[in-house]
Structure 1
Amino acid sequence: MNFSELFKQTNQLCKFSPNGEYLANCVQYRLIIRDVKTLQIIQLYTCLDGIQYIEWSSDSKFVLCGMYKRGIVQVWSLDQSEWTCKIDEGSAGLVAVRWSPDGRHILTTADFHLRITVWSLVNKSVSYIKYPKDTKQGIDFSRDGKYMALAERRDGQDFISIFAANTWHLVKHFESNTRDLQGVEWSPDGRVLCVWDSILEYKVLLYSVDGRCIATYSAYEHALGIKCIAWSPSSQFLAIGSFDQIVRVLNHITWKTVAEHNHVPILDNTSVVTYREVEKRPKVMKPDRTWPPMSSMFSVQSKYEIQDNPVQIPVVKPDPDKPNPKIGVSMVSFSPDNKYMASKNENMPNALWIWDVQKLTQVVLMLQVNSIRCLQWDPHQPRLAMSTGNNKMYMWSPAGCVSVEVPTEASFQVNSLQWSLDGAAILLMGKDRMCVCFLADPDT
């Protein structure tokens, strides 16, 4: 592994381009475009105000910057430096912005979710979509870019509208049998739309493109329900993480549960490999002016040790007086080859659970010293990267675990991370700085 130097960034607004050639990051009101291989600045743009959101177009030719406080979106072109675009929502305000899959239309959401406006960069046309529901996951495009599903709220009832993403014509409009729709998400093959209810009611609905309800699933009643969902890359499984600390996996044929993965406080399974992070302080040595950096000489080092089961997992008791209790499965993610699934239980913040999808059993438990903040799979192979808010990056693969310290002279805490689409680099982001970790080719 090779680490770059530290670069400034603001609000962790850093993203790799879809083609893997560029890295965009923001420093207050400036947008910086770098070459991924050399990290040299190739473009520098100045926006009208502090940037609060950035997103690449699908073809990596444009970058949009959202300035929600001023209700403005600015779009920049990498090919034509003199070309500029500004979208002003005016008094309607701006709370969200995103690209359409074709990379030539921009969707902006007005204040209080009054409407969604579709802006065309091709012919400068503008169209409006009324009644969008005020939810973070109320809009989703199918992977092939053909359809857009939108959650709507009309006269106190939930509806779903499906649009053709190339013409923005309404394909299907139907009522959703939900009390308070929380989110919509297409399956990777684009055949099924998953709709789930609010946390107050455990209900999952599966719809086809033509609006037919294929199946309805509910695990229990009269308790806090769904916390997160995740489709497997093959669309064969739908994983549902809930407040009762269980991940339920549904199959795509009968939409019945094929597995229920419970996050127990005491793990007594000899077939599960338990990795525990162990920290130790290095011995005081004479400083070397070249390597390692001074900060890393006195930092706490860590390594993984395999622990015998049974093992006690640290549990944090949630505060019942506070809203959004820290309990239940908050993260579920499948590996790109569909072989593994990782999950995190909110009231066991230091533990990562890895399950074998084919055998429907747990294979690995990782116990960290600090709470897990971010985890993400390599886009091409079963390799998981993880951060816990310290100066280290952690990785797991079927071959084992590794803890890697970021060799920087200044203190740097990894709060979140992001893989490049080719899996050759990992972007590590702290509070106001970032660096890139370049991975060696496994073949060489």
Structure 2
Amino acid sequence: MLELIHCCASLGSKAKDAMSPFEVPTMMPMPVFQLILGVETPLLELHIAIQNFLLDTEKTIDGQLTEEGINFGLRRDLPNIIEDHVERFCSKLFWDILLRYYSWLLMEFTETYKQTGPCCFSPNARFLAVAVDYRLVIRDVLSLNVVHLFTCLDKISYVEWALDSEYILCGIYKRPMIQAWSLNQPEWTCKIDEGPAGIAYARWSPDSRHILTTSDFQLRLTVWSLVNTACIHVQWPKHASKGVSFTKDGKFAAICTRRDCKDYINLLSCYSWEIMGAFAVDTLDLADIEWSPDDSAIVIWDSPLEYKVLIYSPDGRCLFKYQAYESGLGVKSVAWSPCGQFLAVGSFDQMLRVLNHLTWKTFAEFMHISSVRGPCNAAVFKEVDEPLQLDMSGLRVNDEFIQGNSENAPEGHFGVRYKVMELPIMLPSQKPPADKPNPKQGIGLLSWSNDSQYIFTRNDSMPTILWIWDIRYLELAAILVQKDPIRAAAWDPSCPRLVLCTGSSHLYMWNPSGACCVSIPLPEFTITDLKWNSDGSCLLLRDRESFCCAAVPMLPDSSEDSSDE
């Protein structure tokens, strides 16, 4: 049953474009400004960072950089005009390094707000939806002010935005039912109730005018129209939350079904929702499917019981069948690169394999082993505890600055930082029990950077280790060794910057220039989950019963050449 209230109002208006990400840091409520460069004061830490250019050399006098030292650090001679202005040039170098390599650590954190369920940004990056029991709170991303408040019939289990950011649905699976709301027309409401069939999952169609629901026990998948209240049924969907994929242009949907002990792919038009074609696939127990970014192929992978990755064309032809091995558990995770040229396959054998889109052959295999030895170009960053030692006697700063930084020091006089480890190194690992199902082993987490150059992975038998691979050079780029198991990790959608959390009060960040640990300036706040805004300007950080947002400056363009003064 589909109920629409004020459905005759316009459904075609579009939300305004998202505001500039540069406006975020200045408009966040109750900002807590931090310049985080380790656990020491910012100036002292950056002073040390500059001198790290001069390792194993004596290019300083009384702790200050000299012209010769700067020449060595920059690997070039300075203009003669700077010879008599070394101190002034040191200051310029100081801030140039700060802006180029450390601006991504200039962050603002909001105060905490209550949440009891899902939280997610709108696709246009303007709004944040937060579930608080049976209420859906819509906040403005820039100010976090409440712009809409919707009341549902029961506790909210699931929240999803429509692609145009005008509508949002709430899954109330205890009832079970779906309620949808409009931001542009707050008086408009929608309720979907499947009756005895129940609702196990719901999702939006790409046109933002249809809702797809899957009933309990996968009896049927129903497409509900918000325009004319019509509905279309697809019998026997394979999965509730998986097994459905849309083309990037939003024209077609691929839906997995199973009948007579065989898996099928049904292609539907997202305009008329008619079945355009259906074909059987060579799987034992289909796990999931996904369209390629260019909509030219569909990847299908089998359950872990059989290693099988299949590439199909939309007309049902099998383009390639990939099977790395026959015995043992098979595929655990699959992901297309954003450019569509690579397909990453993570397996239970603790290997990451990357296929190319031309021949569908494997061109790279990356092993996740506990012993890392040289030669290796990867930097190994290990999280370590470090006592606070604030010694600013050698810095030219006023007493007010010293007092302010001392007062803001974390309690207990301990912080965390990354320590660059030398090779060889043994990484902590766990051997899963052989007598239990679903072993914690294999590549359970993998994700591509926005430019398709990097991919991070987590081997579940090494839950505290994050591996970062460089696809351009087909080598390991970095290893992040955490104290606690990694809860979540995500790439910045605008640049190759990675953030992760471990359930602690710290946020961990990496980009090709380095890595750092960011202390959250909120008492008793531990990060259990995180999400990026679609423009990369803001992070959503979740605790068990609260959340906060962090404004993250954009990374400077590393291709820009710094000019001489």
Provide TM-score, normalisation by structure 1: 0.96
Report the Cα offset of residue 305 of structure 1. 1.2
Residue in structure 2 matching 1:425, options 538, 541, 546: 538
- Match of residue 280 from structure 1: 386
Residue in structure 2 matching 1:435, options 542, 548, 551: 548
SS of the equivalent of 2:310 reads strand
Distance in 2 separating the partners of 1:304 and 1:380: 24
Residue in structure 2 matching 1:412, options 525, 528, 531: 525
1:397-408, aligned counterparts within 5 Å? Answer: 397-408=511-522
More strand by share: 1
Residue in structure 2 matching 1:216, options 308, 321, 325: 321
Residue in structure 2 matching 1:387, options 501, 504, 517: 501
- Match of residue 453 from structure 2: 339
Report the Cα offset of residue 294 of structure 1. 8.3
Letter of the structure 1 residue corresponding to residue 552 of structure 2: L
Report the Cα offset of residue 265 of structure 1. 0.8
Q: Quickly say closer, same or farther: Cα 1:292–1:194, change in 2 above 3 A.
A: farther
User: 8 Å contact 2:467–2:478 — kept in the other structure?
Assistant: yes
Residue in structure 2 matching 1:125, options 230, 243, 247: 230
Q: Does residue 1:311 correspond to 2:416, yes or no?
A: no
More helix by share: 2
Q: Does residue 1:227 correspond to 2:340, yes or no?
A: no
- Match of residue 41 from structure 1: 146
Q: Quickly say closer, same or farther: Cα 1:254–1:305, change in 2 above 3 A.
A: same
1:8-87, aligned counterparts within 5 Å? Answer: 8-11=114-117, 13-87=118-192
User: 8 Å contact 1:227–1:241 — kept in the other structure?
Assistant: yes
How many pairs were matched up? 440
User: 8 Å contact 2:211–2:223 — kept in the other structure?
Assistant: yes
Q: Quickly say closer, same or farther: Cα 1:300–1:110, change in 2 above 3 A.
A: farther
Distance in 2 separating the partners of 1:233 and 1:378: 13
User: 8 Å contact 2:499–2:509 — kept in the other structure?
Assistant: yes
Letter of the structure 1 residue corresponding to residue 378 of structure 2: V
Q: Quickly say closer, same or farther: Cα 1:299–1:94, change in 2 above 3 A.
A: farther
Report the Cα offset of residue 152 of structure 1. 0.8
Letter of the structure 1 residue corresponding to residue 211 of structure 2: I
Distance in 2 separating the partners of 1:235 and 1:101: 20
Report the Cα offset of residue 103 of structure 1. 0.5
- Match of residue 108 from structure 2: 2
Spell out, residue by residue over 1:242-292, the C-alpha distance to the aligned partner (whole angstroms, 9 max, x if none): 0000001111111111011000110013312111111124479xxx99878
Report the Cα offset of residue 370 of structure 1. 0.9
SS of the equivalent of 1:112 reads helix
User: 8 Å contact 1:292–1:407 — kept in the other structure?
Assistant: no
- Match of residue 247 from structure 1: 352
Q: Which moved more, 1:40-49 or 1:300-309?
A: 300-309
User: 8 Å contact 1:135–1:182 — kept in the other structure?
Assistant: no
| Higher-Rg member (1/2) | 2
Spell out, residue by residue over 1:349-406, the C-alpha distance to the aligned partner (whole angstroms, 9 max, x if none): 1111111111111111111111111111011110011111101111100010011111
Q: Does residue 1:196 correspond to 2:301, yes or no?
A: yes
User: 8 Å contact 1:293–1:407 — kept in the other structure?
Assistant: no
Letter of the structure 2 residue corresponding to residue 333 of structure 1: S
Distance in 2 separating the partners of 1:179 and 1:430: 40
Report the Cα offset of residue 135 of structure 1. 5.7
User: 8 Å contact 2:201–2:240 — kept in the other structure?
Assistant: no
Distance in 2 separating the partners of 1:195 and 1:147: 16
- Match of residue 372 from structure 1: 486
Report the Cα offset of residue 219 of structure 1. 0.4
Spell out, residue by residue over 1:40-61, the C-alpha distance to the aligned partner (whole angstroms, 9 max, x if none): 0011111000000000011111
Indicate the percent of aligned positions where both proteins have the same amino acid: 46
Report the Cα offset of residue 134 of structure 1. 2.9
Letter of the structure 1 residue corresponding to residue 348 of structure 2: F
Letter of the structure 1 residue corresponding to residue 207 of structure 2: D
User: 8 Å contact 1:133–1:152 — kept in the other structure?
Assistant: yes
SS of the equivalent of 1:369 reads coil
Letter of the structure 2 residue corresponding to residue 341 of structure 1: I
Letter of the structure 1 residue corresponding to residue 380 of structure 2: T
SS of the equivalent of 1:69 reads coil
Q: Which has the higher contact order (CA 8 A, sep 6+)?
A: 2
Letter of the structure 2 residue corresponding to residue 151 of structure 1: C
Q: Which runs of 5+ in 1 are unaligned?
A: none
Q: Which runs of 5+ in 2 are unaligned?
A: 1-106, 391-401, 558-565
Spell out, residue by residue over 1:324-353, the C-alpha distance to the aligned partner (whole angstroms, 9 max, x if none): 110011111111111111111000111111
User: 8 Å contact 1:162–1:173 — kept in the other structure?
Assistant: yes
Distance in 2 separating the partners of 1:366 and 1:327: 18
Distance in 2 separating the partners of 1:411 and 1:299: 16
Distance in 1 separating the partners of 2:554 and 2:464: 30
- Match of residue 71 from structure 2: none
User: 8 Å contact 2:454–2:470 — kept in the other structure?
Assistant: yes
User: 8 Å contact 2:495–2:555 — kept in the other structure?
Assistant: no
Report the Cα offset of residue 443 of structure 1. 5.1
User: 8 Å contact 1:426–1:437 — kept in the other structure?
Assistant: yes
Q: Quickly say closer, same or farther: Cα 1:166–1:181, change in 2 above 3 A.
A: same
Q: Quickly say closer, same or farther: Cα 1:300–1:29, change in 2 above 3 A.
A: farther
- Match of residue 48 from structure 2: none
Distance in 1 separating the partners of 2:511 and 2:211: 38
Residue in structure 2 matching 1:180, options 269, 285, 294: 285
Letter of the structure 2 residue corresponding to residue 97 of structure 1: A
User: 8 Å contact 1:281–1:301 — kept in the other structure?
Assistant: yes
Distance in 2 separating the partners of 1:341 and 1:299: 36
SS of the equivalent of 2:174 reads helix
Q: Quickly say closer, same or farther: Cα 1:293–1:131, change in 2 above 3 A.
A: farther
Spell out, residue by residue over 1:170-198, the C-alpha distance to the aligned partner (whole angstroms, 9 max, x if none): 11200010011111011111111000000
Distance in 1 separating the partners of 2:267 and 2:162: 22
Letter of the structure 2 residue corresponding to residue 138 of structure 1: G
Distance in 2 separating the partners of 1:197 and 1:295: 52
Q: Quickly say closer, same or farther: Cα 1:292–1:127, change in 2 above 3 A.
A: farther
Distance in 2 separating the partners of 1:45 and 1:290: 42
- Match of residue 108 from structure 1: 213
- Match of residue 205 from structure 1: 310
Q: Quickly say closer, same or farther: Cα 1:443–1:252, change in 2 above 3 A.
A: closer
Q: Quickly say closer, same or farther: Cα 1:146–1:308, change in 2 above 3 A.
A: same
Residue in structure 2 matching 1:320, options 434, 455, 460: 434
Distance in 2 separating the partners of 1:46 and 1:281: 48
Report the Cα offset of residue 441 of structure 1. 4.1
